[in-house]
């Protein structure tokens, strides 16, 4: 007791926590800071978790132990009833029925449907917006704006599939959610509220302060993703797992793997073994290539699932299939194997749409991939089949869509699939560059939903600037502001926001060869896209975002993540900027 009192007194004298409650990326729906309620982790801090949340608690402990050096034991908590967080605890509560507004945590009392809120973007830009803003705004209409009209969550169930509530008081932290995914996102927020040194891999001396107050948070869109092209260059399992970690940090919940293309087939298919064995042995530039065994793929899927990331496998058809044709010449229209391809042109290859064996191949492949994939999606590609006449293309795609539907998966495809007939739930991934595509809008009217990946906004293989050492520029140069300053809800003419499932940032890898280069292209644009997918539109604010993002530079540096030191972002110190990959490449070939 005495020690606790002494610690409290010390905390009151201590400077405020270095991170402000509104500094989170992506910006939370509602933020109510209480600077008098900072909590500081100590060697005695423990984690308590209610049934069903244990794996999130274990992961939180794993994130916090290396830099703090604290033991952070995880124990089950019998109470899922909103009872008081005992002193020095991080309490994770998974409950559909517990109030999201636990009475024991002082700062939360005022956060309800009519409560003051502080939108993160405003807090980030405003500097001293903390207590005064929160207290002064009591009764203001902020909540409705921030929540997109929904008001605040009154109970955990209102937090939905992925939402959470986080309360920090001087005595502890509580995260409450209706699902493990929500709890996980809340835990990622808590991680970001600690000083940047938390991302280091060895113990450091630091005051591990968490800013006081409450956050209530839910995503704007259910689908928030990134794509990794493992076909142009192959990336080993460990690299993919690290990319999953990067996605999860920013509450992205889908990893689309572009598994097949002209230059390589990267997934083992038992019924057509030469696809991986022969088709996997090449990559752009003549390197050794590689492929995932089914065990490898399962490992990726399981690792991602633990982080609440769903893997979306893509088998690109009918074009982008040279590697498959090398392995199985009977799939080519001329029945003669083409030479292996290691260049970067697109649009020349296709499987024979006139041969029944092609459909047996498609059925076998999507059948095996579907069986390996717990998530609901299977991506059929469909882009750039330039050599296939429109009618033939459409008939092929319609059969392929039906074969995917027969596996129980929902069809996803690039927006070139638009003219084909609708199948239940079909999702088109729009990668155009002009925001105006009547054919896609028409497919939406026929029932399709959309994933937005505008090439000139979120193609992460585009260079940041003319002197970026890797990447393309066919869709323009994309620095951070360009990646951030658009609205997925209104981007495509004639497509209502309700038809937008979400956003995805693809990374094509013709010129990207190593994990460091992958990270360099992802950071800092990936968090910008994550914010578009997660945060209510009312928080959208470039000035605030760039400030919040800047504070992540030291986090990435501590975690050993390579990033582009974009001049768009006011990085805190040059020391936070790691060496960028220096390679003088690559011919642009789109
Ligand atoms: C277009 S976007 C492609 C890819 C290339 C990419 C390069 C799409 C569906 N197809 O095959 O890798 O451009 O930026």
430 within ligand 1 shell (Cβ under 6 A): no
523 within ligand 1 shell (Cβ under 6 A): no
355 within ligand 1 shell (Cβ under 6 A): no
Enumerate the β-bridge partners of residue 261: 264
274 within ligand 1 shell (Cβ under 6 A): no
Enumerate the β-bridge partners of residue 215: 31, 166
List strand residue ranges (DSSP E) for 205-340, in order.
209-210, 213-217, 223-229, 254-258, 260-261, 264-265, 310-317
Residue having the nearest C-alpha atom to atom 1 of ligand 1: 590
Ligand 1 centroid to Cα of residue 508, in Å, is 7
Residue having the nearest C-alpha atom to atom 13 of ligand 1: 590
303 within ligand 1 shell (Cβ under 6 A): no
Q: In the Cβ-directed half-sphere of 141, how many Cα atoms lie within 13 Å?
A: 4
For 511-574, the three-class secondary structure string (H helix, E strand, C coil) is CCCCHHHHHHHHCCHHHHHHHHHHCCHHHCCHHHHHHHHHCCHHHHHHHCCCCCCCCCCCCCCH
Pocket probe mutation, ligand 1, options 321, 440, 470, 508, max atoms within 8 Å of Cβ: 508
233 within ligand 1 shell (Cβ under 6 A): no
Taking the whole predicted model, whether its pTM rises above 0.75 is answered as yes
CB 182 within 8 A of CB 162: yes
Q: Where is 5: in which H helix or E strand?
A: helix 2-13
Atom of ligand 1 nearest to the CA of 429: 9
- The total number of residues shown for the chain amounts to 590
55 within ligand 1 shell (Cβ under 6 A): no
pLDDT of residue 95: 85
Pocket probe mutation, ligand 1, options 321, 382, 384, max atoms within 8 Å of Cβ: 384
- Spot the catalytic one: 384, 498, 510, 519: 384
Q: Are strands 264-265 and 260-261 parallel, antiparallel or unpaired?
A: antiparallel
283 catalytic? Reply is: no
350 within ligand 1 shell (Cβ under 6 A): no
pLDDT of residue 155: 63
262 within ligand 1 shell (Cβ under 6 A): no
Atom of ligand 1 nearest to the CA of 414: 9
pLDDT of residue 14: 74
Say how far residue 64 (Cα) sits from the centre of its chain: 21
* Separation of alpha carbons 64 and 551, rounded Å: 18
Ligand 1 centroid to Cα of residue 241, in Å, is 23
Neighbours of 568 (CB within 10 A): 22
pLDDT in tens, the chain (590 residues): 444 555 555 555 678 899 999 999 999 999 999 999 999 999 999 999 999 999 999 999 999 999 999 999 999 986 544 445 567 999 999 987 655 554 333 333 333 333 333 333 323 222 322 322 333 232 222 332 333 333 344 566 689 999 999 999 999 999 999 999 999 999 999 999 999 999 999 999 999 999 999 999 999 999 999 999 999 999 999 999 999 999 999 999 999 999 999 999 999 999 999 999 999 999 999 999 999 999 999 999 999 999 999 999 999 999 999 999 999 999 999 999 999 999 999 999 999 999 999 999 999 999 999 999 999 999 999 999 999 999 999 999 999 999 999 999 999 999 999 999 999 999 999 999 999 999 999 999 999 999 999 999 999 999 999 999 999 999 999 999 999 999 999 999 999 999 999 999 999 999 999 999 999 999 999 999 999 999 999 999 999 999 999 999 999 999 999 999 999 999 996 544 554 565 544 444 44
346 within ligand 1 shell (Cβ under 6 A): yes
Ligand 1 centroid to Cα of residue 344, in Å, is 10
Atom of ligand 1 nearest to the CA of 508: 12
| CA nearest to 253, candidates 221, 231, 228, 230 | 221
CB 167 within 8 A of CB 105: yes
CA angle 221, 225, 227 (to 5 degrees): 155
Going from the C-alpha of 486 to that of each of 161, 185, 225, 453, 458, the distances in angstroms are 26, 24, 16, 11, 10
Q: Are strands 89-94 and 46-49 parallel, antiparallel or unpaired?
A: parallel
CB 536 within 8 A of CB 518: no
pLDDT of residue 145: 31
Neighbours of 83 (CB within 10 A): 16
pLDDT of residue 96: 75
CA angle 543, 545, 551 (to 5 degrees): 115
Q: Where is 412: in which H helix or E strand?
A: strand 410-414
Distance between start and end Cα atoms, the chain: 68
Atom of ligand 1 nearest to the CA of 510: 12
pLDDT of residue 15: 84
pLDDT of residue 77: 85
- Rg over alpha carbons for the chain, rounded to the nearest Å, is 24
Pocket probe mutation, ligand 1, options 232, 451, 590, max atoms within 8 Å of Cβ: 590
Ligand 1 centroid to Cα of residue 589, in Å, is 10
481 within ligand 1 shell (Cβ under 6 A): no
DSSP 114-132: T---B-HHHHHHHSTTHHH
| CA nearest to 209, candidates 170, 176, 165, 183 | 170
563 within ligand 1 shell (Cβ under 6 A): no
* Separation of alpha carbons 198 and 209, rounded Å: 11
Residue having the nearest C-alpha atom to atom 10 of ligand 1: 383
For 177-203, the three-class secondary structure string (H helix, E strand, C coil) is ECCHHHHHHHHHHHHHHCCHHHHCCCC
Atom of ligand 1 nearest to the CA of 316: 9
Atom of ligand 1 nearest to the CA of 431: 2
Atom of ligand 1 nearest to the CA of 383: 9
């Amino acid at each position: 007791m005495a020690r606790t009192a002494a610690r409290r007194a010390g905390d009151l004298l201590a400077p405020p926590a270095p991170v402000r409650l509104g500094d989170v990326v992506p910006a939370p729906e509602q933020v109510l800071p209480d600077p008098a309620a900072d909590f500081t982790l100590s060697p005695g801090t423990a984690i308590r978790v209610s049934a069903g949340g244990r794996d999130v608690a274990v992961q939180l402990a794993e994130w916090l132990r290396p830099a703090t050096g604290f033991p952070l034991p995880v124990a089950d908590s019998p109470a899922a009833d909103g009872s008081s967080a005992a002193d020095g605890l991080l309490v994770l509560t998974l409950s559909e029925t517990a109030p999201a507004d636990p009475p024991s945590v002082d700062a939360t009392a005022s956060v309800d449907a009519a409560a003051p809120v502080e939108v993160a973007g405003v807090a980030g830009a405003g500097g001293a917006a903390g207590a005064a803003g929160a207290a002064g705004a009591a009764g203001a209409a902020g909540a409705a704006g921030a929540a997109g009209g929904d008001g605040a969550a009154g109970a955990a169930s209102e937090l939905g599939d992925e939402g959470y509530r986080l309360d920090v008081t001087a005595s502890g932290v509580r995260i409450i959610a209706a699902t493990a995914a929500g709890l996980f996102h809340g835990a990622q927020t808590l991680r970001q509220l600690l000083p940047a040194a938390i991302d280091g891999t060895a113990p450091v001396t630091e005051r591990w302060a968490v800013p006081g107050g409450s956050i209530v948070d839910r995503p704007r869109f259910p689908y928030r993703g990134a794509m990794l092209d493992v076909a142009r260059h192959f990336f080993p399992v460990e690299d993919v797992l690290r990319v999953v970690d990067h996605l999860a940090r920013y509450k992205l919940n889908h990893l689309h793997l572009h598994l097949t293309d002209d230059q390589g087939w990267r997934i083992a298919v038992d019924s057509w073994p030469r696809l991986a064995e022969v088709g996997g042995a090449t990559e752009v530039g003549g390197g050794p290539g590689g492929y995932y065994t089914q065990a490898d793929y399962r490992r990726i899927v399981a690792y991602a699932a633990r982080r609440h990331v769903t893997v979306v496998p893509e088998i690109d058809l009918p074009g982008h299939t040279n590697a498959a044709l090398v392995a199985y010449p009977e799939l080519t229209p001329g029945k003669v194997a083409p030479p292996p391809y290691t260049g970067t042109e697109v649009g020349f290859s296709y499987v024979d749409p006139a041969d029944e064996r092609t459909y047996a191949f498609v059925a076998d492949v999507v059948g095996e991939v579907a069986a390996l994939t717990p998530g609901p999606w299977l991506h059929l590609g469909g882009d750039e089949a330039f050599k296939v006449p429109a009618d033939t293309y459409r008939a092929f795609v319609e059969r392929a869509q039906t074969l995917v539907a027969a596996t129980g998966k929902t069809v996803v495809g690039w927006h070139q699939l638009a003219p084909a007939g609708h199948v239940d739930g079909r999702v088109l991934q729009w990668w155009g560059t002009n925001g105006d595509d009547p054919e896609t809008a028409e497919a939406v009217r026929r029932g399709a939903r959309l994933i937005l990946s505008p090439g000139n906004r979120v193609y992460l293989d585009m260079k940041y600037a003319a002197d970026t050492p890797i990447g393309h520029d066919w869709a323009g140069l994309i620095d951070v502001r360009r990646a951030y300053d658009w609205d997925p809800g209104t981007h495509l003419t004639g497509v209502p926001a309700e038809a937008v499932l979400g956003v995805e940032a693809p990374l094509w890898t013709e010129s990207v060869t190593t994990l460091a280069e992958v990270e360099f292209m992802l950071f800092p644009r990936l968090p910008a896209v994550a914010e578009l997918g997660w945060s209510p539109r009312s928080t959208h604010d470039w000035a605030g975002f760039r400030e919040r993002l800047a504070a992540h530079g030291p986090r990435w540096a501590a975690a050993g993540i390579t990033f582009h030191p974009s001049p768009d972002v006011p990085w805190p110190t040059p020391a936070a900027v790691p060496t960028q990959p220096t390679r003088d490449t690559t011919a642009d070939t789109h």
